[in-house]
Amino acid sequence: MCGIVGYVGPRQAQDVLMHGLARLEYRGYDSAGLAVADRGRVAVAKAEGKLARLIERVDQSPLPGHAGIGHTRWATHGVPSDRNAHPHSDTTGDFVVVHNGIVENFRALRDRLEAEGVAFRSDTDSEVLAHLVARAFDGDLTEAVRRTISQAEGAYALVAMTSRQPDRIVAARMISPLVVGLGEGENFLASDIPAVLEYTREFLLVEDGEIATVTRDGATLETIAGSPVRKQPFTADWETDSVRKGGFDHFMAKEIHEQPDVISRTLGARIRPSEDGGEQVALEGLEWSDRDPAEIDRIWITACGTAYHAGLVGRVLFEQLAGIPGEVAFAHELRYGKPLFRDGSLTLAISQSGETADTVAAARLARRRGSRLLALTNVVGSSLAREADDVLYTWAGPEISVASTKAYVAMLVGESLLALELGRRRGTLSRTAERELVAELRTLPGKAARVLEDMDEVSRLADVLAGSPDAYFIGRGLDLASAMEGALKLKEISYIHAEAMPAGELKHGTLALISDGTPVVAVVTQEDVHSKAMLSLQEVKARRGLVIAVAYEDDEEIGTVSDHVLRIPRVADVFSPILAAIPLQLLAYFVARRLGRDIDQPRNLAKSVTVE
Ligand code: M6R
């Protein structure tokens, strides 16, 4: 959700904060603001809308000074507007806060403060924090923040500053992510590493219940109870280029094109030569005894959005390659359901950001109920990674576009490796089968690059789809997961209504909506149900629907029932979702381009959903 950045040092804070906000805008973009301390006061500038509006404002009236905090917002309480934008101030204007997350008891706190005579100026839950910090201050901002968070309930990160102690910014973390960036004679705070990556590579992770006090000379961490916390900084070795568009018009396009490299990276050192002259999977980071894989009797997979679609693919892989039955559950359903976790179960929680509130909560629940927790995530040190017994990282690099592309493909590769590892260790996969499948995995980067070489057909098709109010996506087996992901991509960035369903389900109702020219995107890669997929497409053609198929390049039959075919190189069917994702991502991208949509920052959405 919202992005936070803070700075104390010799530079003009405004420059660092605006730079950080630009890097964080993907986190939320309905308004933005900053506050800078200077000569006994704190100046605030904020603006509804994209960061460009705030840039205009600060260009006209700069905020000089060397310490400040900034925020980019995704609304939870209160509509996007100047008054609801952060930072929020107390009634004197001496104290300001930025906040990410939700203060769950804000209503009670606000009622109490109003009864004490405080006049609120916004509709947000966050403003209570500014008033609480001001009222708790008696000369020490750290102490005031401590007193504030002992009253506020919920999952959040908070950063405060005051004109009365202008040399510092103080932050507290309750679940929502926060890091301290360490520089030479300057220090930073941020909700995400990319915000300050151009200034420092050294970071301290602020953990739940910790308070960070950041000055020009250093940063101290302590618990809510006041005990000092000492920890080693870690180095972020991300390329700064990875948070730039690198010649593409959109981050989404750049991230789609990075996928061949991402597949190679995620495979990385996880494949090693085997004694029989072939190769086998060797996963790092899994602290499994020899017996552990054999004892898994069920896999629970939990995630949201695109990561959930990755989970649908994973379920089939674990079943087919490792002989483990599984269940995929939306994290927001699982966390409030009554799942029967058992000691022998493994829960795989999947999340690009590792910060999705529902996924982290579902993962916690699984672990509490005795399931072993394995996190599949892209972000090192994320909440999910820290919660888990074992972590498998997808080495996709920072994903900036709100629509997930490369992280999805990396999740599929990670699951493939995991399924192969489990299959070998459980004895459900023969050496020959493993060797052949590993060899197939090795071909994926090259094949993904080939899909990206020929974009003419997909770009032509975008014209067709862009004129339609609806589109239907169908598939069977693993192709259904690809269809669901394709539909999500299209609606998310083009705002065209898209609905995915099993191909066999069409005739049970939705076929009534198919008429002359209705687009039906069919993913057809699974050999065992190929003839059945053809039947479904015949049904669509018989109603004059417009069939766009995603199929293997050597599938000649598909042309007989399709108006257009997006071709992918043939690969073992279990890995086809990795390649099928790419034309579907491109289709959504080109449609959204035709329609002039805000591709990297689609309306109403945010990159990581750190609230319920
Ligand atoms: O960070 P996560 O993978 O946990 O995020 C889950 C979803 O919010 C995310 O995949 C969302 O659906 C994407 N915007 C889809 O492109």
| Per-residue pLDDT at 242 | 64
| Per-residue pLDDT at 177 | 83
Which ligand 1 atom minimizes the distance to the CA of 607? Answer: 14
pLDDT, one tens digit per residue, over 84-131 is 899 999 999 999 999 988 888 989 999 999 999 999 999 898 999 999
Task: List the one residue out of 445, 448, 446, 499 whose CA is nearest residue 470.
Answer: 499
Residue type, 162: T
Residue 223 makes CB contacts below 8 A (sequence gap 6+) with 209, 210, 211, 229
Under the phi-then-psi rule, with left for phi > 0, alpha for psi from -120 to 50, and beta for the rest, what region is 328?
beta
SS3 149: helix
| Per-residue pLDDT at 365 | 95
Kindly state the tokens that stand for 21.
């906000």
| Per-residue pLDDT at 154 | 83
Task: For 239-271, give the DSSP string.
Answer: -GGGGS-TT-SSHHHHHHHTHHHHHHHHHGGGE
Q: Name the residue with tokens 């083009």.
A: 494
- Are 57 and 18 in contact, with CB atoms under 8 Å apart? no
Task: List the one residue out of 416, 382, 417, 424 whose CA is nearest residue 399.
Answer: 382
Task: Using alpha carbons, list the distances in angstroms from residue 279 to 61, 270, 563.
Answer: 62, 10, 41
CA 516 to CA 514: how far, in whole Å? 7
| Per-residue pLDDT at 243 | 66
Do you find a cis peptide bond into 87, omega within 30 degrees of 0? Answer: yes
Residue 142 makes CB contacts below 8 A (sequence gap 6+) with 168, 170, 211, 213, 222
- Given CA atoms 92, 95, 99, 102 in this order, what sign does their dihedral have? negative
Rg of the chain over all Cα atoms, to the nearest angstrom: 25
Kindly state the tokens that stand for 128.
């209570």
| Per-residue pLDDT at 82 | 87
- The 10 Å Cβ neighbour count of residue 256 is 25
Closest Cα to atom 11, ligand 1: which residue?
A: 305
Task: Using alpha carbons, list the distances in angstroms from residue 371 to 110, 284, 321, 346, 365.
Answer: 40, 21, 21, 5, 9
Taking the mean position of all CA atoms in its chain, how far away is CA 47? 25
Task: List the one residue out of 90, 72, 45 whose CA is nearest residue 190.
Answer: 72
Q: Compute, in angstroms, the gap from residue 352 CA to the centroid of ligand 1.
A: 7
Which ligand 1 atom minimizes the distance to the CA of 353? Answer: 1
Kindly state the tokens that stand for 42.
């704190």
Q: Compute, in angstroms, the gap from residue 92 CA to the centroid of ligand 1.
A: 40
Q: Compute, in angstroms, the gap from residue 309 CA to the centroid of ligand 1.
A: 10
By CB atoms closer than 10 A (0-12, 13-18, 19+), residue 172 is: buried
Active-site residue 607, yes or no?
yes
- Spot the catalytic one: 406, 447, 491, 607: 607
Active-site residue 491, yes or no?
no
| Per-residue pLDDT at 192 | 87
Tell whether pTM > 0.95: no
Residue 329 makes CB contacts below 8 A (sequence gap 6+) with 300, 301, 302, 337, 339, 362
CA 460 to CA 510: how far, in whole Å? 27
CA 104 to CA 242: how far, in whole Å? 35
Under the phi-then-psi rule, with left for phi > 0, alpha for psi from -120 to 50, and beta for the rest, what region is 116?
alpha
Which residue among 404, 584, 600 has the greatest number of ligand 1 atoms within 8 angstroms of its CB, and so is best to mutate? 404
- Are 84 and 113 in contact, with CB atoms under 8 Å apart? no
- Are 471 and 504 in contact, with CB atoms under 8 Å apart? no
Closest Cα to atom 9, ligand 1: which residue?
A: 305
Task: Using alpha carbons, list the distances in angstroms from residue 212 to 217, 253, 515, 537.
Answer: 13, 37, 60, 59
Kindly state the tokens that stand for 137.
């201050």
Closest Cα to atom 8, ligand 1: which residue?
A: 305
Task: Using alpha carbons, list the distances in angstroms from residue 157 to 146, 152, 160, 260, 440.
Answer: 13, 11, 10, 36, 44
Which ligand 1 atom minimizes the distance to the CA of 609? Answer: 8
CA 440 to CA 406: how far, in whole Å? 19
- Are 49 and 80 in contact, with CB atoms under 8 Å apart? yes
**Weakly modelled stretches of the chain, pLDDT under 70:** 1, 238-243
| Per-residue pLDDT at 340 | 84
Which residues are near ligand 1 (CB < 6 Å)?
304-307, 351-353, 356, 359, 402-404, 488, 492, 608-609
Query: Please, what's the b/e burial string for 51-90 (b: 16 or more CB within 10 A of its CB; e: otherwise)?
Result: beebeebbeeeebebbbbbbbbbbbbbbebbebbbbbbbb
Which ligand 1 atom minimizes the distance to the CA of 377? Answer: 3
